[in-house]
Structure formats: C-alpha cells, structure tokens
C-alpha cells in the first residue's frame, strides 16, 4: 500500500472494528508510511507508521504491527511471517519472469565476451601456462607469478647476494649482525595486467560455470513450481549477472594488457638455462596468435 487512502479505499473497510466480535482471517497487505495513522481496532487506535491490512469475516481493517502481535499472538506471527514470505516469493518470481525475456540478450553478451578476437576464451587459454607448471612456461616464472598473485603486487623482483658494503650498511641500520649471506630483493620490472590472474577474475568461473552452465539450467525451470529457497537462489543469480559480466570485462582488458611479449619480457631475467629460455620464447610467440 502506497498511501492511507489506498487502505481506506478498500471494499468493506471498517475504521472501528470490535475484535471481540470478529476473528482475524488473513493478512492481505502491508504498509509503512512516513506519517502516523491509527489502528482501527476499537479498543486500540494506537498511532503507528508500520502495519498490516487484515481481513475478517465481515470486512477489512488495518492494525499496527505491534498491536497485531499483542492482540492476536501466535496466529498473527504465523500469518505475518507467511505474508512476508509470499510477498518475497512474488517479487522474486517477477524478477525471474522478467529475466526470462532477456535470456537471449545475456547469451549474446556472453558469446561476444568469449568468442571475440582476444576475448575471454583467448585470455583464459593463454594465461593457463602462467599458472601451472609443465603447461608451457618455465617453472621459475610460474612460481614467481604465483608469489606475485599471493602478494597482490605487479612489481617483478629478483633476489641477489648483497655486496660487503651493502651488508655493512644493513647491519648498521639494524644495530646488530645479520645472517650471511645477506640477500637483497630488487625490482627488475613491472608487469601490467597481473590482476587478470587473480582467482576472483577467473574467466571460466565467471562466464562458463557461473553464467553459461546456470543459464542452461534456468531455461528449463518451471518458475511457478520453485520453492521459496529456490526463488531466492535464482533471483540472486539474476541480480549478480551484471556484476559478473562487468568483472569479466575488466579481467579481459587486464588479460590483453598482460599478454604481450613486451610486458612479459622481464621474466627472462629469472631464467638461467637455454632450455627454459627457449620454452619461454615459444610461449611469448604464441601470444600473437588469436
């Protein structure tokens, strides 16, 4: 109900109901106004802003939320809870029904993100070697990238043994002897787009598992037969899809920034064998292919 007039205009509305002569049947509406109105039970008339419209054997009236609990006790608690569940279910069914007309639009957006040149599928497939050993990138690089992801940093660092002078400076700063050999970590490059590799930006999870697979299931749903919990679960899924698509778009952009030979070239400094260098060069060459 949007206004007090909506309540009083209901057919059979009674503005001064004797509850001793009438029994509460059902809750048929609710309201929450910015102004106060009165409870229409003859022995109450308490001012309130939040309440319910209820039906009796003889008509319709309104009661405040608090007096409903006090006067009708458990019956009111049960009826009000069921009413709230019914309202929530109806809203969620409407959300799903509206979305059902936009299923093809979502599928089209999904296909565009995945299949475009240098799109989600390309980014996902080209980033796998950077995250798993024996998938096309040398082990030192995979381990370094794993550490960078864990630390949430895009600076590429390498450790080296400190010179005698650097060790003395470090000991003077610490005011004590430090273990030898002293190791210094130096920044040797900056890797752009590393966020594309973060777990929360996993494009397979975002687009295939969370949208594509769920979309196939949604198409077969009978919306009228869904339970309360199922309605909540699917309505939440619908509401979160825009955020998933937005996150996927950002991950694709980051992936394109990441997956260039120039951007990833600093990792060569971590390699010490010809075999590893050749393997990594083959990987970088593959990035130019769609």
122-170: pLDDT as tens digits:
999 999 999 999 999 999 999 999 999 999 999 999 887 877 887 878 7
Q: 131 with 43, same domain?
A: no
Listed residues 52, 85, 118: the one ending a domain: 85
**pLDDT-based confidence at 61, cuts 50/70/90?**
confident
Tens digits of per-residue pLDDT, 104-113?
A: 999 999 999 9
Tell me whether residue 277 is in a domain.
yes
Tell me whether residue 174 is in a domain.
yes
Question: What is the dihedral sign for C-alpha 57, 62, 65, 66?
Answer: negative
DSSP 221: -
Give the chain's length: 290
Q: Which two tokens stand for residue 145?
A: 């990238």
Q: 61 with 201, same domain?
A: no
Question: Measured between alpha carbons, how far is 266 from 160 in angstroms, rounded to an integer?
Answer: 16
Q: 234 with 205, same domain?
A: yes
Tell me whether residue 212 is in a domain.
yes
Residue burial 148-166, b: 16+ Cβ < 10 Å; e: rest: bbeeeeeebbbeeebeeee
Q: pLDDT at residue 1 above 70?
A: no
Tell me whether residue 94 is in a domain.
no
Question: Measured between alpha carbons, how far is 274 from 206 in angstroms, rounded to an integer?
Answer: 38
> Locate tokens 């993100």: which residue?
113
Residue range(s) defining the domain that contains residue 269: 103-150+193-286
Q: Which two tokens stand for residue 242?
A: 């825009």
Q: Is the pTM of the predicted complex or chain greater than 0.85?
A: no
If you average pLDDT over residues 238-261, what whole number do you get? 96
H helix runs in 9-136, sequence order: 65-100, 103-115, 120-131
């Amino acid at each position: 109900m949007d206004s007090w007039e909506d309540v009083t205009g209901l057919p059979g509305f009674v503005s001064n109901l004797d509850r001793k002569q009438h029994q509460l049947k059902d809750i048929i509406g609710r309201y929450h106004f910015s102004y106060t109105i009165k409870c229409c039970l003859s022995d109450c008339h308490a001012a309130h802003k939040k309440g319910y419209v209820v039906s009796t054997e003889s008509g319709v009236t309104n009661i405040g939320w608090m007096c409903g609990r006090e006067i009708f006790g458990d019956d009111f608690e049960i009826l009000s809870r069921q009413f709230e569940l019914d309202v929530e279910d109806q809203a969620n069914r409407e959300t799903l029904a509206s979305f059902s007309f936009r299923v093809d639009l979502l599928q089209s957006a999904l296909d565009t993100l995945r299949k475009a040149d240098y799109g989600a599928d390309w980014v996902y497939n080209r980033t796998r070697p950077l995250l798993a050993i024996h998938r096309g990138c040398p082990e030192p690089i995979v381990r370094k990238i794993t550490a960078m992801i864990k630390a949430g940093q895009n600076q590429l660092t390498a450790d080296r043994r400190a010179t005698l002078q650097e060790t003395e400076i470090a000991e003077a700063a610490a005011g004590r002897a430090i273990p030898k050999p002293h190791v210094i970590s130096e920044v040797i490059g900056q890797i752009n787009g590393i966020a594309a590799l973060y777990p929360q930006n996993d494009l397979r999870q975002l687009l295939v598992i969370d949208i594509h697979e769920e979309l196939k299931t949604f198409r077969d749903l009978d919306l009228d037969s869904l339970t309360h919990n199922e309605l909540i679960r699917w309505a939440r899924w619908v509401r979160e899809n825009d955020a998933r698509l937005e996150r996927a778009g950002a991950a694709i952009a980051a992936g394109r920034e990441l997956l260039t030979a120039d951007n990833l070239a600093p990792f060569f400094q971590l390699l010490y064998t010809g075999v590893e260098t050749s393997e990594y060069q083959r990987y970088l060459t593959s990035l130019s292919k769609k």
